[in-house]
Amino acid sequence: MAKTVDYYLSLVSPWTYLGSKRLKRIVEAKGATLRVKPVSLAMIFPESGGLPLPKRAPQRQAYRLVELERWSEFLGEPVTLHPAHFPADERLAAYCVIATGDASEGGEASEESYALSHAILRAVWAEERNIADEETLKAILGDCGLDASAILSAAKDPQMEERYKALSKEALEAGVFGSPSYVVEGEIFWGQDRLDFLERAL
């Protein structure tokens, strides 16, 4: 029986970007369902002991850059270590991903939601685009073959903020403390470097 992966992600996480393509390949190969769920680390970190990047010790910040470069080379995925628009306010982008799912038959499990989330991650870490800018999001939506005006209009619904908070609360209740997190039947796999274990679980 096909399993479901609840994919909790921050749209400004470089680790989420690095794992995005491989996650999709694994899910497709195993015939699993992928439910894309954008979350706010600003909500999750205070409840789970995490720290935003600027508050981490210098040694941890320096090692993060070393690891990003290593994984970028290993996976063949280009990463800009100091992108021009990081950190960016990801809320509108997250609302767009949620709205894209709403507009499709699959909801959170839609192909469109995944494609948009990947395009947004790539925009930050490979293309140095500002995902907090509405015109940039409109262009990304269009590149994904989506109705940019309709999705942006839905994303601006005041209830989207509550939906985003609800997904973040759901993530916390599932035991999630960082991005990316993949949850299968209650088992958490945190980080793109745990994708081998996710593959085994599927």
| Domain harbouring 130, CATH code | 3.40.30.10
Q: Which two tokens stand for residue 132?
A: 């907090």
- pTM of the predicted structure, to 2 decimals: 0.95
DSSP code string of 99-130: HHHHTSTTGGG-HHHHHHHHHHHHHHHTS---
By percentage, how much of the chain surpasses pLDDT 70? Answer: 100
Give Dmax (Cα) for the chain.
46
Domain housing 187: 4-201
Q: How far apart are CA 136 and CA 103, in angstroms?
A: 20
Whole-number mean pLDDT of the chain?
Answer: 96
121 contacts 77 by C-beta, under 8 angstroms: no
pLDDT at 149: 97
| pLDDT computed for residue 40 by the predictor | 97
If one counts the domains in the chain, the total is: 1
State yes or no: pLDDT of 106 exceeds 90.
no
**φ and ψ at 12, to 5 degrees?**
-120, 15
Contacts of 116 by beta carbon, 8 Å cutoff, 6+ apart: 96, 97, 100, 140, 141, 144, 146
Average pLDDT over residues 155-160: 96
